[in-house]
Structure 1
Amino acid sequence: MDINDSIESPMMLKVGFNKLLEHYENLAKSDDEFLSAKAKRVLKTAKPYPELRDGFSETQILKDREKEISVILQDSFAPVLTTNEIKTASVPFHDLIFNSSERFKNIIKIAGDGFELNIKNMPDDDRYIIACTIILNFCYGYNLNFKRPFYYEIPDANGILRYYKILYNADFCEIIPTEKAKEITKEDYDELLDNFENVALWKEKFPVESYIFKGFVISNIFDVTEDQSISNIKSSLIGEDKRKEEGFMDSFHEIFRSLLGINDIKVGFSIYNEEDDIFERVYGVGMHSYLLGDSENSKCSDSLCHWSYHRLLKEKKFFSVSDVDRDFDISKGKAPHIANLKNQGVKSAIFAPIANDEGLMGIIEIVSSTPQTLNSINANKLVDVMPFIVSAVERSKNDEENLIEAIIQKECTSIHPSVHWRFAKEAKEFIKDEMEGREASFKKIAFNNIYPLYGQIDIKGSSEARNKATRQDLTLQLKAIKNVLVKASEIETLPIYEQFIYQIDTYQKGLNENFQVDSEQQISNFFKDDIEPLLKHLYVVDVLKEEIQTYYDSIDDKVNVLYKHRKDYDDTIAKINVEMASLLDKKQVEAQQMYPHYFERFKTDGVEHNMYIGESITKEDSFNRIYLYNLRLWQLQVMCEMENAYYLMQSDFPVALDVASMILVFNQPLSISFRMDEKQFDVDGTYNARYEIVKKRVDKAYIKGTKERVTQKGKISIVYSQKQDELEYLSYIKFLQSKHYLDTDIEIVELQDLQAVTGLKAIRVSVLYHKNEDDKAFYTYDDLMKEIKS
């Protein structure tokens, strides 16, 4: 029998090993004696049979030369990997396989006698055309990217369909034109590029068997069942038409069976009606709800027990029932969802919420008639598919406007309202491209010729405060350990106790005199490696048990260290950030009403904010620099108000910390663009990058010729570089002085040069404070501190 029988191709197929044998000829000359000897043995095996090098198409030769072919391919099919790798040797576009790994043979054997191996996604018409594209690449040098993934679908021992991706290695192939081959001109190539589906045209340019394929391909095959199942779920859920088809649920069951590797499962759905707090049946061909059973709808509290209700509706997390009968007995039939499952003959189940940020939309129910088949472990596989199910439900509930929002959220995360229009425009283009069959991509979002404003209210001495809190906590923990060790040494005199007490004293001294960056880590390692094992040993001593328990009671369970002063510090930072950010957000609402602009803020050790204003953001022919001046004045005023608000609430914080405020003035307009990878706006261009450099470094800058930082508690520092900025802000300060926001102690200072940035100056002026919200008097920072402490 000839392998070319019953197939139509531009290539006459011949199995041959010439390319591989040429490779062994090179290896035979190797300095490596082992490689050389092995190559010579292969060449010796092939030499008596020239057809192995020249190529052949008779299948009988494959049988007659099976032993020799096995020797030639031994390196390609390493015996040590044969039970692990899924690998075959064959010719392209043909089901003939003449060598394979043991694992591949086992997979085919398990599939059964009636199974026929076929490439799943290779239409017959495409085989001819793809063979032609290979010839164009191989013989004419055209770089046509015709590659696409090919798959086998093979059932396993349980009848579950598994997916295997095929990767071809075509290094050992030759393609040779025959007399029938037509010369392909550039005009022919150009015509073919636009006529992929015109089989008749391809056959005209590449007549049947006008080229000889000589060689073989190695197929490396990988089990991608889970990935393909996820992809299939995604494909099944795209478009409402598919979901209305009769076989939709049957195929959906099959996909989930492949994903979970379980044959005995079914899938159901129920909709959550938030307004009435009820579950409702999903209407559609083959749709069923195992949570509702025969009911059309049911109150959520009547369908679930208290725990499962909270899990699904409040926490929005999935849960499993691995053994329905067991749980029915434990709950004495009082858990409604368990009772309902038992009545339907279900033995194990998984319930997963279909939820987005707005809340629960429905429940996906996976059930089995076998106990423990579904459980909390394999339930985790749903994590990868839930996003697609959520998206499908959202699409069925939302119109185009919501779809635009979904695209924006997917591509760009949360977007400030001032620039939302620009993202919506690109989202519409994205949808338009998808609908018209073009490759959709979210284009670059950029705004040119806009003015930046930057401000921060920074916590002064945060590092020192953190270090102080750390020293206090470590001191307390060391003291507590020392107490235990002293008592232990009174009961039993051991040198190791003395050594540990000495170590503790050394650490105590270090904390008091020279706290280093790694001190915290060293002492933590001492507690973990030396003290913890010792305390476990000493805990059995009755006299020490109470002392040791007192120590353990002082340790925070989450961080596993004594976390008192550091918690106070961390809570203070968190509260400062929340309060300051909340105040700034409220003030921003007012500012947007004056004139729309971009705004973003960040919580660090304090709160920073960026603002950008300009024509390209507002998309209206209305921008005037007066709006920029207005926003600058607003910013300065709000910074004063934030300073006041902070010191009014300072006494409520666990740790008393000071803050310092700074505004950076940048006179020239710049360009910003949205960084898709970082999900935020950033400046464009080398010149504009100078602005970002100054932003990151200026609050740590010193006044020229001194070691005094430009930012100081009780003062607002306005950093700038142009004389016109100085005059502008002095006018704002004068106005705010008349409103009793600022004091009269204006100073203008020069800053030491920053890296790549020179010529910066700063205006510093003290803020005036109120003692409380009803107080009409004005205080300097020092006056306020005296009032607070009196």
Structure 2
Amino acid sequence: MDINKNVESPFELKISFNKLLQHYEELAENTDAHSAVRAKHVLKIANTFPELKDGFSDATILKQREKEISEILQDSFSPILTKNEIKTATIPFHNLIFNASERFKDIIKTAGKDFELEIKNMPKDDTYIVACAIILDFYYGYNLNFKRPFYYEIPDANGITRYYKILYNADFTEIKPKKNTPKITQKDYDELLDNFENIALWKEKFPPNSYTFKGFIISNIFDVTDDQSISNVKSSLIADDKRKDVNFMGGFQEIFRSLFGINDIKVGFSLYNKEDGVFQRVYGAGLKSYLLGKYEKEKCTDALCKWSYNRLLNENKYFSVSDVDKMLVKSKGGAPHIKSLHEQGIKSAVFAPIANDDGLMGILEIVSNEPQTLNSINANKLVDVMPYIVTAVERSKNDEANLIEAIIQKECTSIHPSVHWRFASEARDFIKAELKGEQATFKKIAFENIYPLYGQIDIKGSSNARNEATKEDLTLQLKAVKSIFLKASKIETLPIYEQYIYQINDYLKELNNDFKVDSERQISDFFNQEIDSVLTHLFSIDALKEQIDSYFNSIDDKVKAFYNHRKDYDDSIALINKEMASLLDKKQEEAQAMYPHYFERFKTDGVEHNMYIGESITKEKNFNPIYLYNLRLWQLQVMCELENAYYQMQSSLPITLNVASMILVFNQPLSISFRMDEKQFDVDGTYNARYEIVKKRVDKAYIKGTTERITQKGKISIVYSHKQDENEYLRYIKFLQSKNYLDTDVEIVELEDLQAVTGLKAIRVSVLYHKNEEDKSFYTYGDLMKTIKA
């Protein structure tokens, strides 16, 4: 079998011992009699079998001359060191090994009959180019630093992956060009330097089989599992978004198994929350905490005994538990971390503090299901990897802090793109002042002479709806408990059962007749503080087990109570808010395309939004009132679409709720500024504050002389105070009536006076609803004027 077959390479490979034999020719003339005798013996073998010197490509000769090759290589493969050294004789880019130390043979044998030896970090696509680089170095003398470490990954008897670094000795090789092989010039070399990945160019300069490689290579192999494991830990921790990768934790545990040389190892983490004095889980795919066990978080003093608490939190030193079961007996169950490990079936463990100069950040937990597998001796292996874990956790905490700030900014204190330029400008000035050593202050962010727009789609009667849902849940739970006590009183005649039944009846009466603000809390306390413990006791009675089990299965894990009707209510509110906010955000993109302006929205029992438009916000001096009119018309259209979107989704909601929409018109420009303490924009000045007062109270206002609220389901209420506002919006309404957005039942009403605010009026008009959601055209103020003129 030709070793060059099915291999594309610039080399024609020939196994030869010529260069090694040249050394023996020199030794044969040596004055040292022993060396000379040994050299002559080797040369006699070579002379008897000239192919060993001349070279051969037929792999079958290796088998035929196995004994002779072994004798020639005996000095290179010392019999005395054969069980210690990991060494092979081979040729480049082949897994063909024709001589090996006993230790190497044992390693391969232990790996199993299905194991295939392969250099892991040698890309197959690069082997041709690497061979060309060898020619440039060995034959042409160009000093190319192309060498890189190569490794084998070989499993041991326990299935643990061990890493072996390969160092090549190429002293016994010869590289020569064949006849008519193109010579490499300086120009060729310069071109190749910038084209490592251009395989076609390399094949042009170094055609396949154009050079003869004659000789062999000795591979000196070293077990570098510890070093590679540490490197792998570092590489794993550097990777971004590692916690999201479902394969991350499995790979990370494999690294620690290699480091410790133990297959039965699992890795966990606990984060230390200094502010709350608790350990908490690290959230991510496959991440666990063996210290916390079944808990999401736990006080440090409850999770550790005094000694281990002091060891980890104060001394920042690791400790091991070599035999959990023995320690459980020794501590008499008084050590919480030992108890937690025992409950999880863990038999030995190491807890290592992840700490920097500022103190503890978390705990690295390494555990095993076998006793004494982990102990204070092999725990020292963590010394070399902990700096990387500390660095990774520091980076993770910083990333998390930045992410938290980003989420808070996005969800709570968003700096809208329309005003971001002002914040960025002030931030640059702040940094500049700090770098100059000056007193850095973040100047006030304010925008003057801008027009406000406000709107809301509010869920009507949300408080009553929640109260009804609460009453229904509490009633169901009280009746379920009452049923259990009625049955229990027939089994055991105890007065306490009668007392509980009386108390339950009293609560049921209160729910029906006089539901107060604190009724829910009182009844919840009754369940949690009295009933639960009694039911746990009654569970020992066989006749009650099924009923009590059914009761506890009906308890929601989060609210610790019956949560059916309230869940329907909460889910309905969440779905409405999500749908309304999503649609409003999508429609906002259209509005921003008309003219940039500030926009913010809030989710409450419904969705409300603020908009501010004006030249000071956009920075460009091109503001015209037509952009304000466009935005007002857009807002009215969108409110109609939000109403339609709600009524189209209403049938899919867990409970039926109604919504009412309102727009507040404020005709005068005002000023707003960003309040650093509240992280939000607010109006400036006493007069402008009137706008905020109206905004907060107007949806609860009554029509003058009635007890009817201004907002009403199925209608949009437009609140204003000036006649010109009325005329403007009546035109919008008439236009949208022609586009089948609004009905013809327009009414104008006066509002009862609010605190410090008088003279408010409102236009109310019904929304026209559509059975199907269709993309509607957006109508501009220009379209309105064309319609009026027509």
Q: TM-score, normalised by structure 2?
A: 0.52
8 A contact 2:569–2:654 mirrored in 1: yes
Partner AA of 1:665 in structure 2: V
Aligned to 1:585: 585
8 A contact 2:318–2:352 mirrored in 1: no
Cα deviations by residue, 1:105-162 (Å, 9 ceiling, x for unpaired): xxxxxxxxxxxxxxxxxxxxxxxxxxxxxxxxxxxxxxxxxxxxxxxxxxxxxxxxxx
Aligned to 2:477: 477
Query: How far apart, CA to CA, are the structure 1 residues paired with 2:236 and 2:391?
Result: 22
Aligned to 1:335: 253
Aligned to 1:535: 535
Distance 1:387 1:684, change over 3 A: farther
Q: Which one of the candidate residues 208, 214, 228 is aligned to 1:294?
A: 228
8 A contact 1:714–1:766 mirrored in 2: yes
Q: Secondary structure at the match of 1:671?
A: strand
Query: How far apart, CA to CA, are the structure 1 residues paired with 2:398 and 2:493?
Result: 71
Aligned-pair distance for 1:688? 1.0
Q: Secondary structure at the match of 1:593?
A: helix
Aligned-pair distance for 1:538? 1.1
Query: How far apart, CA to CA, are the structure 2 residues paired with 1:391 and 1:310?
Result: 10
Aligned-pair distance for 1:713? 0.1
1:305-704 alignment, distance < 5 Å: 312-314=242-244, 335-342=253-260, 371=320, 374-375=351-352, 381-382=360-361, 389-390=394-395, 414-704=414-704
Query: How far apart, CA to CA, are the structure 2 residues paired with 1:550 and 1:392?
Result: 43
Query: How far apart, CA to CA, are the structure 2 residues paired with 1:340 and 1:606?
Result: 56
Query: How far apart, CA to CA, are the structure 2 residues paired with 1:350 and 1:772?
Result: 52
Distance 1:758 1:420, change over 3 A: same
Q: Secondary structure at the match of 1:381?
A: strand
More displaced stretch, 419-428 vs 505-514: 505-514
Aligned to 1:180: none
8 A contact 2:354–2:361 mirrored in 1: no
Query: How far apart, CA to CA, are the structure 2 residues paired with 1:683 and 1:750?
Result: 26
1:18-417 alignment, distance < 5 Å: 293-294=227-228, 312-314=242-244, 335-342=253-260, 371=320, 374-375=351-352, 381-382=360-361, 389-390=394-395, 414-417=414-417
8 A contact 2:451–2:612 mirrored in 1: yes
Cα deviations by residue, 1:685-732 (Å, 9 ceiling, x for unpaired): 111111111111100000011110000000000001111111111111
8 A contact 2:457–2:662 mirrored in 1: yes
Query: How far apart, CA to CA, are the structure 2 residues paired with 1:695 and 1:748?
Result: 19
Partner AA of 2:550 in structure 1: T
Query: How far apart, CA to CA, are the structure 2 residues paired with 1:552 and 1:352?
Result: 31
Q: Secondary structure at the match of 1:654?
A: coil
Gapped regions of structure 2 (runs ≥ 5): 1-223, 272-283, 286-312, 322-349, 364-389, 777-790
Aligned-pair distance for 1:315? 8.8
Query: How far apart, CA to CA, are the structure 2 residues paired with 1:418 and 1:771?
Result: 36
Cα deviations by residue, 1:733-759 (Å, 9 ceiling, x for unpaired): 010011010001111111111111111
More displaced stretch, 367-376 vs 500-509: 367-376
Q: How big is the alpha-carbon RMSD for the aligned residues of Structure 1 and Structure 2? A: 4.2
Distance 1:630 1:297, change over 3 A: farther
Runs of 4+ in 1 over 2 A off after TM superposition: 290-300, 308-312, 339-344, 347-353, 366-394, 772-776
Partner AA of 2:636 in structure 1: L
Partner AA of 1:682 in structure 2: D
Percent identical: 69
Aligned-pair distance for 1:495? 2.0
Gapped regions of structure 1 (runs ≥ 5): 1-289, 320-330, 354-358, 361-365, 395-401, 777-790
Query: How far apart, CA to CA, are the structure 2 residues paired with 1:570 and 1:441?
Result: 44
Cα deviations by residue, 1:589-612 (Å, 9 ceiling, x for unpaired): 010000000000000000000000
Query: How far apart, CA to CA, are the structure 2 residues paired with 1:311 and 1:534?
Result: 48
Query: How far apart, CA to CA, are the structure 2 residues paired with 1:706 and 1:377?
Result: 67
Q: TM-score, normalised by structure 1?
A: 0.52
More displaced stretch, 618-627 vs 502-511: 502-511
Query: How far apart, CA to CA, are the structure 2 residues paired with 1:621 and 1:414?
Result: 25
Partner AA of 1:382 in structure 2: M
Aligned-pair distance for 1:771? 1.8
Cα deviations by residue, 1:188-216 (Å, 9 ceiling, x for unpaired): xxxxxxxxxxxxxxxxxxxxxxxxxxxxx
More displaced stretch, 568-577 vs 486-495: 486-495
Query: How far apart, CA to CA, are the structure 2 residues paired with 1:611 and 1:452?
Result: 6
Aligned to 1:52: none
Distance 1:481 1:598, change over 3 A: same
Query: How far apart, CA to CA, are the structure 2 residues paired with 1:487 and 1:370?
Result: 54
Cα deviations by residue, 1:18-37 (Å, 9 ceiling, x for unpaired): xxxxxxxxxxxxxxxxxxxx
8 A contact 2:716–2:764 mirrored in 1: yes
Aligned-pair distance for 1:294? 3.3
Aligned to 2:750: 750
Distance 1:533 1:509, change over 3 A: same
8 A contact 1:690–1:757 mirrored in 2: yes
Q: Secondary structure at the match of 2:361?
A: helix
Partner AA of 1:712 in structure 2: Q
Aligned to 1:149: none
Distance 1:436 1:377, change over 3 A: closer
Aligned length: 451
8 A contact 2:664–2:719 mirrored in 1: yes
Aligned-pair distance for 1:391? 9.9
Cα deviations by residue, 1:273-301 (Å, 9 ceiling, x for unpaired): xxxxxxxxxxxxxxxxx99943797599x
8 A contact 2:703–2:750 mirrored in 1: yes
Q: Secondary structure at the match of 2:718?
A: strand
Distance 1:375 1:733, change over 3 A: same
Query: How far apart, CA to CA, are the structure 1 residues paired with 2:253 and 2:393?
Result: 30
Query: How far apart, CA to CA, are the structure 1 residues paired with 2:601 and 2:258?
Result: 50
Partner AA of 1:336 in structure 2: E
8 A contact 1:312–1:352 mirrored in 2: no
Aligned to 1:61: none
Partner AA of 1:661 in structure 2: S
Aligned to 1:102: none
Aligned-pair distance for 1:773? 2.9
8 A contact 1:350–1:374 mirrored in 2: no
Q: Secondary structure at the match of 1:443?
A: coil
Aligned-pair distance for 1:641? 0.5
Distance 1:576 1:387, change over 3 A: farther
